[in-house]
Structure 1
């Protein structure tokens, strides 16, 4: 707007210039630069300008503001030509030397015209103020503040003007080691993660310097592009001495003296102290969440708080500042934290006592020190050292008025209303400048002497530090993309996870990947960021690590942009089918054709149409296809009733999932993995293929796998088809107890019957190895011991008491008791029936007793052969019931439908006895009786026939009657008969059992075992096979 008005008024300015009288021309011709108090130096059009007056605000670690009011006798200078120009204000000192203040033109405005003169207002600032006209978002990692700010200041935008120096250089040429000072800070001065977010480069620079306790000042430098350089410092005592203090009076300092144009040098007219209450201590704390400890440090004040009024107040005047977590910012030691606390306290103490002054010292500027002489402080010289009279200038507010010729000055003052641009005067470039110009005392002094200032200073012995900066504030949560090594946003094959031991991830904020973003490698990702879990504890909790390419939501602890934390993952993109996005809310038809190809065992429409591989994509389950599923139906029978979670195989298509199906009347839970199609399905069983809800499969539960399965229970396992009431305990097996008691009673009954009939009793009823003993109980036979095991009752009061009851085999039922097996047994109880079917073999083995019992019948059938082998006896008892209706069909029937029937007693005698008739018959052949020695036929009456190798002997107590059609007695004859050969070797059966001492009491094999009995080796090895041979 100023440029347009300037061009519009150029004609009027020209007419005013043509009216300039010859007397004024003569005045300007005689007012040479050598006679002027203030001059400007610079290239055209700066060289055409003359100083009318100026105001300057110069504060340490702030860009100074020099507002120039200039005059020009030429046509109005285009404002655009002035912006960015280098300009130097030259101030003539008392000794005739020139003091320089260089800068760049940041603002230019027309200030009207007086007679033939054109006025401009210029705002001059150091080149560092250019940084305030930017705004950036970027990241640095594992860099020091020197490296970070070198990156910032070395940007192409500043190269034409930038010049800076790290560390003050003293009069002897020694430069302070700023890197060593920084290294005393947190993490050895290395910033693990440093973020500039929506900050100007200047605000970012100011914040980092304040955090480290560093400052900066402006120093004139002829070799610098803009005539000055920025000097960063840690030790304010190294500031250079002011020109006037160094050169005037032989270097004795600046006098405390009245101000007058007749004085030989500039002086300080007023000087006094101002104290304010500051903290008595600064404390800082950092939390180390990896070591789970807090590190704290405190720096007390160096001032005297012993007065009665302050003594009670001091303990309360403490500034306490938590400064984040060490794992986020790097490691931190107590010494490093103490350095931070000391810098904080020094910043407060630098403001505890401020020296306020007014002077006419035209060379005075912030960032210099001076010595004060001939002041009232000299009266205290016996109490204070010379160093106490040296002061560092913290800020200077100054006004300067050029020594215009009287006639020109009078003419300008007489024509204020002639300025055609007076109505354009708005808010000054700086409110501080405005306050200076309305300081009556300062204005009068400047008008009288041509220059006046007011300044703030502190003793040189007291370190100057910037005040702690305000916390970097993030404006709410942000989203970002999870990245891998090098900032990769897409996984490399199966490497989909990039994390550390704490489950932290790296992300890339969207402002890091935007076009034109800083291309440095460490700006491609964040630091390691913790992921918030629903539950986290020592080696336990809920763990979900977002994968490379997924989009996540982050918030920032205490709103600090440098302390991000991942809150969760986000879906992005759009799934196949459904309603596409339309511009301006235009109507569109949903495309559901992709849903048609899904079926019980194959999904469809599971792809992602947007995202390009970077993001969480669309959800696995949705409600976009709610209609009934069927052939050619564009629906998947899913009304958005599925919830749960689903993972994905690294680099593959497999997945694991837990699905909760809340479809009304069809509640279902599925825990599944695609590895060998292993699933646990509960409730309403259906087929499911991702979002497709398929056909009905049944109700209840299904545990299935295409691989191997195992069910293990260390203390016992109950499988039953008997239902229970909701109030019944989980281990209730009352039906099993009743059935097992019936079995025990049946076994006992038949065992007694076997004893009565003089056959082998049942070991399950009388004991296996010894009477009334079993492996389960020392005082009970196997069946009764098993019944005791399933009848256990344990305390419900505590786990410890329950374990004690189980080990004591407690079976007494009472209030406060719960059913529980007393031994690790497997109990299978079937209400209707139990079917065990195998396509090939069924192996049943026991270390002690196998008992098969039935209340009615047991049928054993074999398609080919049946073999019954025993190490001792086989007892077969039939008809062990009383005669009567229930005894019909009793007895023992042994029939070979094909082939012979062979019975042998290979080691002892064989007996055949019957209460009544013994009937031996052959239907088609003969009966052979053979014996190695003799055959004897005897009746209870005494008759006997003996057949032996010596002959046949017939005897009886009565007569012998022989009836035959003919009788023939001939000479002797002999016929040999082949008798069976019986095994001669005795087989001794030894019950061997060995077990490992492990949690499962695992049996160990007997192969290669040496067997000793009573000290004698009976076997050097044992080979366990189907024939049970011992070699």
Structure 2
């Protein structure tokens, strides 16, 4: 501010100097400068104060501008800055009022001879905190703890105290759920002053400046929450009639100001007030993400405006309300929300009625209260604690002081301006104005040496601070975070790297802690005071999250993450992504600085060692050996390189250091805790070589589809084939509760130039159904043939094949899910839904194949190969049918055994003879051939007769041995003509209806003889199944 001066009117500073030295003594000055007790500010007595101007407000650093004369014109300005000075103003009773501050600005105005005029700006020590800039975090600290921690770092200047009631206000206030402690509080790129102002205004704590002899700068701060309990102004407390025989209390309202500074009592010369409309209610709303519930509270006000009974004003009340939802977890209970809304409402109500006045009260300070009195003891009918005398809490002061020159020094240079007693009020919308302009106070200050204007609120109304950005009147109205930031995930003790298998540090909600790059604790940096080395628990954004469903990703210790902020509130961080911050070995350009890929530059000089090392690292990779996965930043410890960095697109062949990876790999890859194993989903988009692999290194198990390759991390190796591969080095299982179809028949290809996707349904099994029908027909035909030829039929096989064919033809409707479910449960072969049936009749596409029973349908177009290194087991609880439309061959290297619980039926030649088989040999007439190339053939009927019958010749021959026919009772040889031989007991009977012809070269009849023959021992055994289990095992 440019301060006016009259010194040039009396002959210049040179002429003034002589008069000042002779007439302007210390005792004759109203305002003087001194050094605070204990402060090191030499030369304060050499500063001759001409005038000053003060701007002061509650919860704001005052600004006191001094215009001084210095005896030494050569004192540099830098010597004045930082000095602690005290402005002493003499009172009417001979006492003094003090106002201390620190010189924060010095300006040189004029100089003449040995004198110089300077302009000095004094401010409280807290104003110096505006020149700081810090970023730090506190956890589980209350507002009092945080303020004490910040101010304790300025011990050379900072002196402060907490007024009564502040601790209780904080403990039971906005963070009552934690006893007043803020779980997480961040100062980020804020000055200490702005940070403290924001926190104090948010919790409704104001502050004022008071003089203190023990303070290094002569003053300290008082933090308070009860404005009613702040001290009374000394002039108001002394009473305007004190010392004059008059009775009264408070500051006198006197419309005619005195003519000099020696008036018996300072007074208020003009006083008025204004009212403004304000909100009639405050509603706040927050969100508790743990309880999944909104927290809201509404606090109404008592609007004191408008005539009573005015319906127009009453109609305004319902909708003059403020609804202020907040992001994040600002308050956790309805009581806390109600507390926050009450603070907002109190801040508004304190500003709807504003008092403004002007006078020459030298003791007036912001943060104190005054009582105003008139000769009659009344003013404006406003009641106070002392009857009808209004009590006002002073919130802002604008004062001007002038050291009036002696008459000899003034000469004829009196101020010619007309001094009006009329007060000019500031614009009511501008709370930063002091209440009156300097030009309106200067005439009074010139006559009396001091003039002031002030703003005040009714003392009974609680006063809450409000910042220019709206803090205090709204909940966190401005962003405190400019955008997302990066951070490193830390461990339980704040460590930046994992220890063994402890790769992760999280809580039950999947949250992590991080350390921002601007926090302390990096290398040798140590935290200051109560600062934290990490953050609070941060929620991690997932692509999908729901009740027992969604994505799950928890960043590992040491990973770099991107942290966003809900509502751009620096105290509401959330992890939104993770970042790669490293560079793979092959990430070096293949030809840096003109070097060729083979290790030599254009002139043939050897390539740099580092680049050659990269080629060597790449050359070590193979189908089963990864390489070039190390990180090149920070010697391998400075970050994390991508899993598939794709910076080695060259061919992965012998002699080439490439990895055939042109950054075409994408997907997801995890890492084993404390190990080198991993799980991954790889999507390979290499042109004409599309591939997808779901892989775990545990037992090297994977499902790979498309262009099958060997892959070792970043290395794309040799070809494995085309199609699909499901493999594991451990045990595997494939289970389908409703049926499984395995078929090598392709579906009908799509027409046009599409993607080649068949229009047929996934369960289409037309080929399998046709083959099942053939088997059914074949089984039925041979069952009839067996019945005709009087052998064991295929009754159970006929039913089983019929059931299989029917089950394979199962289908479900596609009109609705309910139709499909009902059809599947009913094992329908056609949809029972009328809509589906009608649509099927018209379009033929309203049903899709669906196995009616949980079968495994194995269909091979060219064949099915079933081989085993040891055993093959075929077992069924019901019927096992092996059917072939042409030939069935059994080739057994060892023994072939067929055991049955009942009959064995073998029928051959049931079909008319056909042509030659594949070997060119005719199959006609073969019948049943039973040959033992080695060993014996043993046919026994151990519990019944055995029949061997032939339509034509029956031959029993032996090439080298003997034919023995023996029976325990009787042997009969007979022909259809009636001739026969009977051997029974010890007799031989030969009988025939015709003659008996005996031809022999020699006939001999000797005595009787006996032949002994060993008859076979026929065992008898019975195996019975349990009634509950008709098969040796149950399923």
Query: TM (normalized to structure 1)?
Result: 0.86
- Correspondence list, 1:196-235, <5 A: 196-235=187-226
Q: Which residue of 2 aligns with 1:697?
A: 720
Instruction: Specify whether residues 385 and 144 from structure 1 end up closer, same or farther in structure 2 by C-alpha distance, changes over 3 A only.
Output: closer
1:850 aligns with 2:847: no
Alpha-carbon distance between aligned partners in 2 of 1:386 and 1:588, rounded to the nearest angstrom:
94
- Do the aligned partners of 1:46 and 1:82 also contact (CA within 8 Å) in 2? no
- The one of 513, 518, 542 equivalent to 2:551 is 542
Alpha-carbon distance between aligned partners in 2 of 1:557 and 1:433, rounded to the nearest angstrom:
31
- The one of 686, 696, 715 equivalent to 2:738 is 715
Structure 1 residue 638: Cα displacement:
2.4
Q: Which residue of 2 aligns with 1:631?
A: 654
Structure 1 residue 244: Cα displacement:
1.0
- Correspondence list, 1:297-696, <5 A: 297-304=297-304, 307-326=310-329, 329=330, 332-374=332-374, 378=378, 386=386, 389-409=390-410, 439-467=438-466, 468-469=470-471, 470-513=477-520, 516=525, 518-519=527-528, 523-579=532-588, 591=611, 593=615, 594-611=617-634, 617-696=640-719
Alpha-carbon distance between aligned partners in 1 of 2:301 and 2:370, rounded to the nearest angstrom:
26
Structure 1 residue 981: Cα displacement:
1.6
Instruction: Specify whether residues 231 and 94 from structure 1 end up closer, same or farther in structure 2 by C-alpha distance, changes over 3 A only.
Output: same
Residue 736 of structure 1 aligns to a residue whose secondary structure is: helix
Structure 1 residue 46: Cα displacement:
1.9
- Do the aligned partners of 2:136 and 2:531 also contact (CA within 8 Å) in 1? no
Structure 1 residue 35: Cα displacement:
5.7
- Correspondence list, 1:4-19, <5 A: none
Alpha-carbon distance between aligned partners in 1 of 2:941 and 2:278, rounded to the nearest angstrom:
114
- The one of 7, 27, 32 equivalent to 2:26 is 32
Q: Deviations over 1:634-662 (max 9, x none)?
A: 22222222222222222221222222222
Structure 1 residue 890: Cα displacement:
2.3
- Correspondence list, 1:875-890, <5 A: 875-882=905-912, 888-890=924-926
Q: Deviations over 1:32-77 (max 9, x none)?
A: 3476444423441223223221111110000111112222334543
Alpha-carbon distance between aligned partners in 1 of 2:719 and 2:175, rounded to the nearest angstrom:
71
Alpha-carbon distance between aligned partners in 2 of 1:706 and 1:489, rounded to the nearest angstrom:
36
Alpha-carbon distance between aligned partners in 1 of 2:402 and 2:519, rounded to the nearest angstrom:
50
Structure 1 residue 441: Cα displacement:
2.6
- Correspondence list, 1:2-401, <5 A: 24-28=20-24, 31-33=25-27, 36-42=30-36, 43-74=41-72, 76-113=74-111, 116-155=114-153, 158-168=154-164, 177-182=168-173, 188-248=179-239, 249=241, 252-257=249-254, 258-260=256-258, 261=260, 263-304=263-304, 307-326=310-329, 329=330, 332-374=332-374, 378=378, 386=386, 389-401=390-402
Instruction: Specify whether residues 762 and 181 from structure 1 end up closer, same or farther in structure 2 by C-alpha distance, changes over 3 A only.
Output: closer
Alpha-carbon distance between aligned partners in 1 of 2:1004 and 2:953, rounded to the nearest angstrom:
33
Alpha-carbon distance between aligned partners in 2 of 1:589 and 1:403, rounded to the nearest angstrom:
88
Q: Deviations over 1:363-411 (max 9, x none)?
A: 1101111111127881665977636621111111001112443334559
Q: Which residue of 1 aligns with 2:933?
A: 897
Q: Which residue of 2 aligns with 1:810?
A: 828
Instruction: Specify whether residues 374 and 613 from structure 1 end up closer, same or farther in structure 2 by C-alpha distance, changes over 3 A only.
Output: farther
Residue 488 of structure 2 aligns to a residue whose secondary structure is: strand
Instruction: Specify whether residues 460 and 661 from structure 1 end up closer, same or farther in structure 2 by C-alpha distance, changes over 3 A only.
Output: same
**Alignment coverage as a number of residue pairs:** 940
Q: Deviations over 1:310-349 (max 9, x none)?
A: 22222332222222222xx5x6110110000000000000
1:756 aligns with 2:788: yes
Q: Deviations over 1:189-208 (max 9, x none)?
A: 22122111111000000000
Instruction: Specify whether residues 437 and 395 from structure 1 end up closer, same or farther in structure 2 by C-alpha distance, changes over 3 A only.
Output: closer
Structure 1 residue 704: Cα displacement:
1.5
- Correspondence list, 1:822-833, <5 A: 822-833=852-863
* Greater mean deviation of Cα atoms: 755-764 or 938-947: 938-947
Residue 60 of structure 2 aligns to a residue whose secondary structure is: coil
- Do the aligned partners of 1:387 and 1:461 also contact (CA within 8 Å) in 2? no
* Greater mean deviation of Cα atoms: 132-141 or 803-812: 803-812
Q: Deviations over 1:828-879 (max 9, x none)?
A: 1111111111111110001111111111111111111111000000011111
Q: Deviations over 1:919-977 (max 9, x none)?
A: 11111121222222332333333334332334333333344443333444444333432
Instruction: Specify whether residues 589 and 563 from structure 1 end up closer, same or farther in structure 2 by C-alpha distance, changes over 3 A only.
Output: farther
Instruction: Specify whether residues 807 and 615 from structure 1 end up closer, same or farther in structure 2 by C-alpha distance, changes over 3 A only.
Output: farther
Structure 1 residue 437: Cα displacement:
10
- Do the aligned partners of 2:138 and 2:530 also contact (CA within 8 Å) in 1? no
Q: Which residue of 2 aligns with 1:422?
A: none
- Do the aligned partners of 2:173 and 2:339 also contact (CA within 8 Å) in 1? no
Q: Which residue of 2 aligns with 1:953?
A: 989
Query: How well do the aligned residues superpose, as a CA RMSD in angstroms?
Result: 3.1
Structure 1 residue 991: Cα displacement:
6.6
Residue 618 of structure 2 aligns to a residue whose secondary structure is: helix
Alpha-carbon distance between aligned partners in 2 of 1:133 and 1:570, rounded to the nearest angstrom:
35
Structure 2 residues without counterparts, runs of 5 or longer: 1-11, 243-247, 416-429, 472-476, 598-610, 749-757, 831-839, 916-921
Alpha-carbon distance between aligned partners in 1 of 2:1021 and 2:64, rounded to the nearest angstrom:
124
Q: Which residue of 1 aligns with 2:871?
A: 841
Q: Which residue of 1 aligns with 2:800?
A: 782
- The one of 896, 899, 902 equivalent to 1:872 is 902
- Do the aligned partners of 1:186 and 1:337 also contact (CA within 8 Å) in 2? no
Alpha-carbon distance between aligned partners in 1 of 2:547 and 2:702, rounded to the nearest angstrom:
30
Instruction: Specify whether residues 992 and 830 from structure 1 end up closer, same or farther in structure 2 by C-alpha distance, changes over 3 A only.
Output: farther
Residue 971 of structure 2 aligns to a residue whose secondary structure is: strand
Q: Which residue of 1 aligns with 2:602?
A: none
- The one of 1008, 1013, 1021 equivalent to 1:977 is 1013
- The one of 778, 782, 785 equivalent to 1:746 is 778
* Greater mean deviation of Cα atoms: 121-130 or 233-242: 121-130
Residue 637 of structure 1 aligns to a residue whose secondary structure is: coil
Instruction: Specify whether residues 17 and 365 from structure 1 end up closer, same or farther in structure 2 by C-alpha distance, changes over 3 A only.
Output: closer
Instruction: Specify whether residues 860 and 521 from structure 1 end up closer, same or farther in structure 2 by C-alpha distance, changes over 3 A only.
Output: farther
Instruction: Specify whether residues 575 and 387 from structure 1 end up closer, same or farther in structure 2 by C-alpha distance, changes over 3 A only.
Output: farther
- Do the aligned partners of 1:629 and 1:635 also contact (CA within 8 Å) in 2? yes
Q: Which residue of 2 aligns with 1:1022?
A: none
Instruction: Specify whether residues 435 and 800 from structure 1 end up closer, same or farther in structure 2 by C-alpha distance, changes over 3 A only.
Output: closer
Instruction: Specify whether residues 763 and 454 from structure 1 end up closer, same or farther in structure 2 by C-alpha distance, changes over 3 A only.
Output: same
* Greater mean deviation of Cα atoms: 203-212 or 265-274: 265-274
Alpha-carbon distance between aligned partners in 1 of 2:626 and 2:413, rounded to the nearest angstrom:
89
Instruction: Specify whether residues 753 and 229 from structure 1 end up closer, same or farther in structure 2 by C-alpha distance, changes over 3 A only.
Output: same
Q: Which residue of 1 aligns with 2:918?
A: none
- Do the aligned partners of 2:233 and 2:368 also contact (CA within 8 Å) in 1? yes
Residue 789 of structure 1 aligns to a residue whose secondary structure is: helix
Structure 1 residue 899: Cα displacement:
1.0
Q: Deviations over 1:461-487 (max 9, x none)?
A: 100011241424322222222222232
- Do the aligned partners of 1:55 and 1:436 also contact (CA within 8 Å) in 2? no
Alpha-carbon distance between aligned partners in 1 of 2:802 and 2:444, rounded to the nearest angstrom:
119
- Do the aligned partners of 2:58 and 2:366 also contact (CA within 8 Å) in 1? yes
- Do the aligned partners of 1:480 and 1:510 also contact (CA within 8 Å) in 2? yes
Residue 952 of structure 1 aligns to a residue whose secondary structure is: strand
Structure 1 residues without counterparts, runs of 5 or longer: 1-15, 170-174, 415-430, 767-780, 996-1002, 1007-1031
Residue 378 of structure 2 aligns to a residue whose secondary structure is: helix
